[in-house]
Structure 1
Amino acid sequence: MFIDRARVFVSAGDGGDGMSSFRREKYVPNGGPSGGDGGKGADVILKADKNINTLVDFRYKRQFKAPAGENGQSGNKYGRGAEPMIIPVPLGTVVKEEATGKVFCDLTQDGQTFTIAKGGRGGRGNAHFHSSANRAPTFAEKGEPGEEHWLQLELKVLADVGLLGYPSVGKSSILRKVSAAQPEVAAYHFTTLTPVLGVVSLPGERSFVMADIPGLIEGASEGVGLGHNFLRHVERTNILIHVLDVSGMEGRDPKEDFDAINEELKKYSEKLSRKMQVVALNKIDLVQDEETIPNVRKYFEDKGYEVYCINALSGEGLPELMERAYYWVENYEPDPESTDDTVMYEAKPDVEFVITRGDDAAFYIKGDRIERLVAMTNLDDDQSLRRFQQIWRYMELDKKLREKGCKDGDEVVIGDQTFTFQD
């Protein structure tokens, strides 16, 4: 089963909690704090694997939760960090943040990895908070929560050559003839519903990968028919073989079909419209008169295209077409004018926090630093709570809440904790 889209949830492991303990040995009645740090939570890592060619596994498992780090122990023993969770994905997988559509990564090389969610750092044990003013700290930090994301995975097939054309023009027949791939061939439109890859082998141990991509119709750039499901896969190919039915047996005009498809490519992406195209006039055995093929061939040659007349069923003309396709694959040069319109995700340092008023009249404070502080503070411990209040005052949160209109008794929400403001 070929699946080229998936929606998944990834959650990195939380850091282990720091330990609050004291050295207790014979003849050492007042030993100092000895709580160890918690271990780091596991990262979630995506890894491109050439042995996978579909996202079908994500149809049955959509949530990935990495293990947490171990808690710290007494005697200044650190908790063990968790091993990263590695999730294999096919080559050509684009990973997007579901909420914003921003692209995290584009995995195109075998073995390429990307850390999609970082595990939380371990909380510090109470030994870290020993000072001349506080010789017996009873508090320790909780582990930092791991990052989590809802993701959209999109697979764009990786092929050197793409077969372009309307449904039923013979693309699948060509691929079956020149490779070991076995796409379905039938006398109805949209026989091929998903991309099919085949390796074309030529004399001299030469080869390239060719894709039979689902047929395109007018309006595909707006999602009509197979729409974007088709166009997304065309983006990966280096050159295109534009297959046309020159026989006109189904009442189609190859010139009009060619122009219509290229118009759809242009509407979808200027980059696509500039890809190298070779024209293949198929079903030459069904042409009824002697003038059609020369006229159609001249029409495309006058436009600057290379034209090959073929019969996908008998194989006539295919060796010459495949040799030329290999030549262009070997001499492929990226379009210097093409620009990558992908918006790559960039992590920005959190230097501020934002205070907003919710519909429930509560005040919400958002910011990585303050949310992390709340998550890692043990609010049930008096010393830990006093430390939190000191940091609160240092960040001047009281002042900034008053500026936003916060009054005595109002609720203040930070992360998953709710506080009552007291002026």
Structure 2
Amino acid sequence: MSPMTAEQARDPDHFPGLAVAIPLGVQHVLAMFVSNLTPAIIVAGAAGFGFGSPDPAPMIYMIQMAMLFAGIATLMQTIGLGPVGARLPIVQGTSFAFLPVMIPIVAGQGVAAMAQLTTAAVIGGLFHACVSSCIGRIRFALPPMVTGLVVLMIGLSLMRVGVQYAAGGVAAQGTPAYGAGTSWMLAGIVVVVTLGLSFYGRGLWSTASVLLGLLAGYGVAAAMGRVSLAPVAAAGWVMVPQPFHFGFAVSFPAILGFCLMGFISAIESIGAVSAICEGGAGRPATDRELIGATSADGLGTALAGMFGAMPNTSFSQNVGLIAITGIMSRHIVTIGALFLILCGFAPKIGALITTIPIEVLGGGVIVMFGMVASAALSILSGVAWTQRNMLIFGVALSIGIGLELEPDAVSHLPGTLRIILTSGVLPAALVAVILNLAVPDRVSAA
């Protein structure tokens, strides 16, 4: 096979052949695999049917649907469906952005709370798709200071989860096992291996560093007798997705939270599409590509919610992978999407994931959420830190973190407002947007 020309490498419609497309497609899956599954695992744990629960079946189902609908939503982006989809090499996956809103809704409520969550995902996703056409016109209200603050709040809101997992999980709190040295050792192995491969590995070794770090921790845990494969033996070979698997239940706090976070997710996707076009094709993204990408976000979230999965969005780590390989072909990502769909129908894969000790997962989560916060700092580095911007950022950050740390401060408010205000992300974003629009843009010395 003759090598690709520079023009072919930058062409989204060019197919480089199966010999190139298959390994690169699998590489895209490896880069996002752990991040795609983690939100479903965290939500299941917050609801009370996560790791260590007597019945792992609901979490296995959520893991399978995370893979299946990440693949389907990715196909919407790469192949397109009418006006839906950017027809670019965009990888979709389960979104971390919604976690600060989802966790308070399901906290300790069991499987029954999932009906409210998935129903809200359907309605919020449809709302997201409907407003996608006007996203470009409201970008002026979301400068890097606001989007960077939102991403930072997402990372900060979730760091507690990583430490809880690394110490033994919420279920172990109050027992001698919580915070034990063996727990931190397992989490530490994952962190050290992940960092070592990220810094010194090349190619797949670096791209899949989090996955390989988890495998290293899993191997040590297995040697310590901490792994049981009984769930894998009990799981079936094929799982068929069921519409409204968890039921249908309307929760206004959940719906409002999902609709508001839909705007944040849309801005994330606009950033990903812009980065792909500028870095991979050397041109700005077109309006059609931006509208198609954000509408695919919304419809992908609605479809996932209909079958019991979490909302999804474009994955930034795969944007970076395109920059590394220098190949813009959307057909490569299509092959990765087909691989995800196949995994989604195989429940033994989900059952195997549930055998990972929670401390091992905690090590991976610490790295992932730390990277979310680091990405925010990268966005914020381009902000002109005038006195105005520092005050807006500081007030929004203070209110967002303060209400999340002290939720009883708004205990007298109605339930809907209480959930929204204590999410951390939404109050910080709303305050930042309002102040940014209301305060005159005077350049003052910082």
Q: Which has the higher strand share?
A: 1
Q: TM-score range with shorter-chain normalisation?
A: under 0.3
TM-score between the two structures when normalised by the length of structure 2:
0.18
Greater per-residue helix proportion: 2
Q: Whose radius of gyration is greater, 1 or 2?
A: 1
With normalisation by structure 1, the TM-score equals 0.19
Higher relative contact order (CA 8 A, sep 6+): 2
